[in-house]
């Protein structure tokens, strides 16, 4: 069965969430074999997943995250909230 | 390693133990505050909301302080509480079922394809070294902006699936959507995010070709 790119893109997304039924998997494989744009599409979606998961793991010691921190004000507010409840 | 949010025992109801009490709560703010904030912000995207969730987490931890059993580090314990706060928040935010039926599987991405089902703008080769992007603050700023342009449910679905690695069934429950709706949302979110990154980070073509 021949897929359009639009159909292939749907299957690519679905295949990232659960295994595709055999006939769809075969159809997608064939489409990817002949279509470099959908191949790129798939590779880029997988790349997005990969960097996000890695980012989530590294959230602690990332240099670039150093600028993402609580303001002095918020810090103070949190401490006061804790003190009041103690 | 991915940690699983849901089933992890956060030990709120473990028997009282005074052998290893958590440290003075006020020190939590300096020791773990930034971490908790980043953790929440990465998933929720709204700075004020992230601050609120951190505060709720710290106060809940204070309540449950005597139950901290010292089986895990203090930070792991706090993150466990924060995870639950985030899920509660998402449930609350999406309590109203989605009545948006405009996004059928077929029309959901039609802006990206011709009537013949060909790409309107073909996915470009990403010119920057994708690996290098990972360590650039600018990349994550772009990413956050792209994500925030999606409808909230779509963005939350994407985060739970791609970052947390939940399966679709669990996501459907928390976001209060049908399985069909969810896959359409994920499909659309991936399509739009990829395109947004291509335009704003990878310097892709902006014109139809």
pLDDT, average across residues B123-147: 81
A 10 A CB-CB count for A13 gives: 21
B99 domain-assigned: no
> Residue A3 is part of which domain span?
1-61
Q: Return the residue of A nearest to B25 by Cα.
A: A82
List the single best residue of A2, A3, A6, A36 to mutate versus B (max B Cβ within 10 A).
Answer: A6
Looking at residue B70, what is its pLDDT? 72
- Pair B123, B187 in one domain: yes
Please report, for residues A1, A8, A39, B181, the alpha-carbon distance to residue A35 in angstroms, rounded to integers and kept in the order given: 15, 10, 6, 28
Instruction: Assess whether B88 and B120 both reside in one domain.
Output: no
Asked if B30 is an interface residue toward chain A (Cβ–Cβ < 8 A), one would say: yes
Question: Which pLDDT belongs to residue B132?
Answer: 74
CA distance B11 to chain A (A): 20
What does the pLDDT look like over B32-49, one tens digit per residue?
999 999 999 989 988 999
Q: How many CA atoms lie within 13 A of A18 on its CB side?
A: 8
Specify if A42 maps to a domain: yes
pLDDT interval class at A61 (50, 70, 90): low
- Residue B209's pLDDT band, with cuts at 50, 70 and 90, is very low
Cα distances from B53 to residues B46, B60, B81, in angstroms, run 10, 10, 10
What is the structure's pLDDT at B14? 41
**How far does CA A6 lie from the centroid of its chain?**
20
* In a domain? residue A75: no
**Which of B105-114, B159-168, B172-181, B193-202 shows the lowest per-residue confidence on average (mean pLDDT)?**
B105-114
pLDDT at A65: 55
**Considering only A12-21, B81-90, B128-137, B138-147, which range has the smallest mean pLDDT?**
B128-137
- Gap between the terminal Cα atoms of chain B: 41
Q: Classify residue A73: in a domain, yes or no.
A: no
Assess whether B46 and B125 both reside in one domain.
no
The pLDDT score that the predictor gives to residue A60 is 59
Q: Read off the pLDDT of residues B81-107 as tens digits, 9 standing for 90 and up.
A: 999 999 999 999 999 877 655 556 566
- The verdict on B83 and B131 lying in the same domain is no
Assigned domain for B6 exists: no
pLDDT at residue B78 tops 50: yes
Q: Look at residue B155 and tell me whether its pLDDT is greater than 60.
A: yes
Q: Is residue A7 in some structural domain?
A: yes
How many domains are there within chain B?
A: 2
Q: Which residue in A83, A55, A78, A85 sits closest to B51, CA to CA?
A: A78
pLDDT at residue B2, rounded to an integer: 44
Q: Tens digit of pLDDT for each residue in B9-19?
A: 444 444 344 43
- Give a yes or no: residue A82 inside a domain: no
Rounded CA Rg of chain B = 20
Residue B34 forms part of a structural domain = yes
Q: What is the domain-level CATH number for residue B127? A: 1.10.10.10
In this prediction, residue B79 carries a pLDDT of: 92
Calpha distance B48→B54 (Å, rounded): 10
Residues A72 and A76: their CA atoms lie apart, in Å, by 6
Instruction: Please state, rounded to an integer, the average pLDDT across all residues of chain A.
Output: 88
Does A74 reside within a domain?
no
pTM of the model: 0.82
Q: For position A38, what pLDDT does the model report? A: 97
Q: Is residue B20 one of the residues assigned to a domain?
A: no
Name the average pLDDT for chain B: 82
Band of the pLDDT at A86, cuts 50, 70, 90? Answer: confident
Residue range of the domain that includes B35? 25-93
* B193 lies in the same domain as B116: yes
**Interchain proximity B39–A59, CB inside 8 Å:** yes
Report A:38-57 residues touching B (Cβ under 8 A): 38, 40-41, 44-45, 47-49, 51-57
* Cβ–Cβ below 8 Å for B163 and A82: no
Q: Is residue B50 part of a domain?
A: yes
Count of structural domains, chain A: 1
Residue B134 has what pLDDT? 72
């Amino acid at each position: 069965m021949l897929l359009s790119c639009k159909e292939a893109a749907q299957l690519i997304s679905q295949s990232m969430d659960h295994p595709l039924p055999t006939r769809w998997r075969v159809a997608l494989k064939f489409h990817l074999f002949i279509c470099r744009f959908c191949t790129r599409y798939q590779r880029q979606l997988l790349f997005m997943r990969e960097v996000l998961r890695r980012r989530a793991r590294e959230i602690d010691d990332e240099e670039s995250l150093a600028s993402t921190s609580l303001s002095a004000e918020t810090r103070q507010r949190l401490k006061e909230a804790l003190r009041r409840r103690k | 390693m991915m940690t699983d949010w849901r089933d992890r025992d956060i030990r709120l109801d473990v028997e009282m133990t005074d052998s290893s009490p958590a440290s003075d709560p006020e020190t939590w703010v300096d020791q773990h505050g930034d971490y908790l904030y980043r953790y929440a912000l990465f998933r929720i995207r709204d700075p004020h909301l992230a601050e609120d969730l951190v505060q709720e987490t710290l106060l809940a931890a204070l309540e449950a302080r005597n139950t901290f059993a010292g089986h895990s580090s203090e930070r792991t314990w706090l993150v466990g509480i924060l995870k639950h706060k985030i899920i509660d928040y998402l449930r609350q935010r999406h309590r109203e079922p989605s009545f948006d039926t405009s996004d059928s599987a077929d029309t959901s991405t039609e802006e990206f394809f011709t009537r013949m089902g060909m790409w309107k703008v073909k996915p470009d080769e990403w010119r920057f070294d994708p690996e290098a992007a990972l360590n650039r603050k600018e990349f994550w700023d772009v990413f956050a902006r792209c994500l925030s342009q999606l409808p909230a449910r779509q963005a939350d679905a994407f985060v739970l699936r791609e970052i947390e690695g939940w399966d679709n069934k669990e996501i459907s429950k928390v976001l209060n959507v049908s399985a069909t709706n969810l896959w359409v949302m994920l499909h659309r979110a991936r399509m739009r995010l990829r395109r947004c990154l291509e335009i704003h980070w990878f310097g892709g073509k902006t014109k139809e070709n």
